[in-house]
Amino acid sequence: MGLVGQRAFAVEAEQTEPPLTLRVPAFTAYTLPDPDGAQISPRRGVTHWTDPHLSVNWYGLFRHTGQLSVRLELRLPEGAVSELKMTLQDQSRSVRVTGKGNEIPAAADFGVFAIRQTGYTRFMLESLNPPGRPFGDLDALLLEGPALQDAHFNLKPRRNAASVHLNYAVPADTEIAAFYGEVTAVEDPTATFYMACGWHRGYFGMQVNSPAERRIIFSVWDSGGEPTDRSKVSQENRVVLMDKGDGVYSGDFGNEGTGGHSHLKYMWKTGQKQRFVVTATPTDETFTIFSGYYFHPDSRRWMLISSWKAPREGGYLRRPHSFSENFWGSNGHFVRKALYGNQWILTADGRWIELTQASFSHDATGRSDRLDRFMGVQDGQFFLSHGGFVEGFTPFGQTFTRPPVGTPPGDIVLPRKNANSQAILD
């Protein structure tokens, strides 16, 4: 058995004893149907599981068939009895386990299951206890058997799906004065950020923040490299808000670099194309004003989200890209997918260039912890998909080409007060 860096589990084939075993921490589990229906933490595992309608679920990738012994390590008050049911690959086992004390693990032995199909398998744990009886606090799944050969589980506390990115191919030395892109959400669980227009100093896209709230986000990073706390950023390194649209909130952000943040609360629709454009207006050799504009589907007009004056710049947009992010880990078991299409850049000398080629990348979680991350071309657009424990993956760095649209956007009419940005586009 091999375990590399506590990041993910990949068991190498062995011809000798001892048998293959694996401890899958409870803190890697997910709850359904409510992703926040119990407390899950690296220190205590799964606790406060009291709803008999809530299941606790683990997911693992099996590359071989064979037998698999399944036990559950849990803590119960001394003498307390919990009845639990485990289901995987259409096989179910129920057991009763007696507690040894709140800090002494007991084991629920569900016996041997047959892994008959390769691919991702869901381990679904259900409570058969009546209301008021303790279910138990869960520490780990304990697995053993030949089916574990080359199997893969995420063993890290981070339960987010991997973040995935489109990196667009741009002619060398291009001065990019504007970047236009479109995004259509296909699957959009809560805690999803579909970012349409990113560049070296910021990002612009749309979020699902809750079932009742969605946002259009535009943010620009400070200079200076401070990773977390904007109060530590000197005034000469801070971006400064120059303007914002009606109904737009603006403020600070930190913990992922620091900078200026803005958002419009708007219930954008799944399946409806959303349109974005970012402009760059150098004011001198050291400052550039970056502005984000959103085509509002209700008014059918372009509106300003915000404009920020960025220090230590004086140039144009660099490294155009898009991404999709699962920014909260409790629902990393849900699929996220969006279409990204009709990308264009406008050069400083007024030429539109269509971006039809992009390469795939992902964050550190996608290296070995979560393999369910994809890019491709669908309906003439790029797509990004991640999460859901879907079998297969897209290799890091793979390049895709979408068919060209051929005609740049011709209806970008910006608010009158944004004359500098409009002059770029005219």
| Per-residue pLDDT band at 10 (split at 50, 70, 90) | low
Identity of the residue numbered 328 = W
Instruction: State the pTM of this model.
Output: 0.90
**pLDDT score recorded for residue 8:** 55
Residue 385 φ/ψ, nearest 5 degrees? -145, 140
Q: Is the pLDDT of residue 4 over 80?
A: no
Separation between Cα atoms, residue 320 and residue 357, nearest integer Å: 12
CB 345 within 8 A of CB 178: yes
Separation between Cα atoms, residue 251 and residue 261, nearest integer Å: 5
pLDDT over 70 percentage in the chain = 93
Separation between Cα atoms, residue 366 and residue 375, nearest integer Å: 13
| Per-residue pLDDT band at 257 (split at 50, 70, 90) | confident
Q: Is the CATH number 2.40.50.110 carried by domain 3-154?
A: no
**pLDDT score recorded for residue 236:** 87
How confident is the model over 22-47, as a mean pLDDT? Answer: 97
In the predicted model, what is the mean pLDDT of the chain? 93
Separation between Cα atoms, residue 138 and residue 244, nearest integer Å: 49
Highest averaged pLDDT of the listed ranges 20-34, 245-259, 404-418: 20-34
Q: Do domains 3-154 and 164-425 have the same CATH topology?
A: yes
Q: Is the CATH number 1.10.287 carried by domain 164-425?
A: no
Separation between Cα atoms, residue 109 and residue 27, nearest integer Å: 19
**pLDDT score recorded for residue 5:** 39
**pLDDT score recorded for residue 6:** 42
Q: Name the burial class of residue 325, with classes exposed (0-12), middle (13-18) and buried (19+) by CB atoms within 10 angstroms of its CB.
A: buried
Q: Which one has a higher pLDDT value, 10 or 111?
A: 111
Residue pLDDT, tens place only, 347-367: 999 999 999 999 999 999 999
Locate the domains of the chain by residue range.
Answer: 3-154, 164-425
Separation between Cα atoms, residue 62 and residue 29, nearest integer Å: 17
Separation between Cα atoms, residue 45 and residue 27, nearest integer Å: 5
Q: What share of the chain is helix, strand, coil (3-state, %, to 5)?
A: 5, 50, 40
Residue pLDDT, tens place only, 58-84: 999 999 999 999 999 999 999 999 999
**pLDDT score recorded for residue 426:** 59
3-class secondary structure, 159: coil
| Per-residue pLDDT band at 319 (split at 50, 70, 90) | very high
Q: Which one has a higher pLDDT value, 190 or 103?
A: 190
How confident is the model over 266-283, as a mean pLDDT? Answer: 98
3-class secondary structure, 251: strand
pLDDT over 90 percentage in the chain = 82
How confident is the model over 125-137, as a mean pLDDT? Answer: 92
